[in-house]
Amino acid sequence: MQYFTALKLGEKRVKLAQELLDSFAGHALPALALKDNRDNKWEPVGEENLIAVKNESNGYLIAICDKSGIAKSISQWFSEDDMNRIISKIKTERRLEEYTGKLSLPI
């Protein structure tokens, strides 16, 4: 796929994921629009939406990612209680599955 075509499709998927996460977390940022590969073939992030959590010393980050773990949208850092409340609401209302593999973040 050509770079520009892959980027535009990826940006569309990122926007949808950002809107979804924003509606539950209060604020969400765009993340990665293209898959990271080493063979110079441009691919957009996947269409599927899964929920993922990153735990660090400053709290819990919630992400919407594709089946490969590429984050399409990320939240701010939350306390464990807030993260659990948001994740539970997303799983109940949107029926998203949780991704537990290695998460690729834009940092």
The parts of the chain modelled with pLDDT lower than 70 are: none
pTM of the model: 0.92
Burial class (CB in 10 A: 0-12, 13-18, 19+), 97: exposed
Q: Which helix (H) or strand (E) holds 55?
A: strand 50-56
Please tell me the distance from the alpha carbon of residue 87 to that of residue 39, in angstroms, as a whole number: 35
Query: Which pLDDT score is estimated for 37?
Result: 73
Both tokens assigned to 56: 């660090």
- Cβ distance 25 to 86 under 8 Å? yes
Q: Where are the domains of the chain?
A: 3-94
pLDDT at 77: 97
Model pLDDT, residue 36: 75
What are the two backbone dihedrals, phi and then psi, of residue 50, each rounded to the nearest 5 degrees? -125, 155
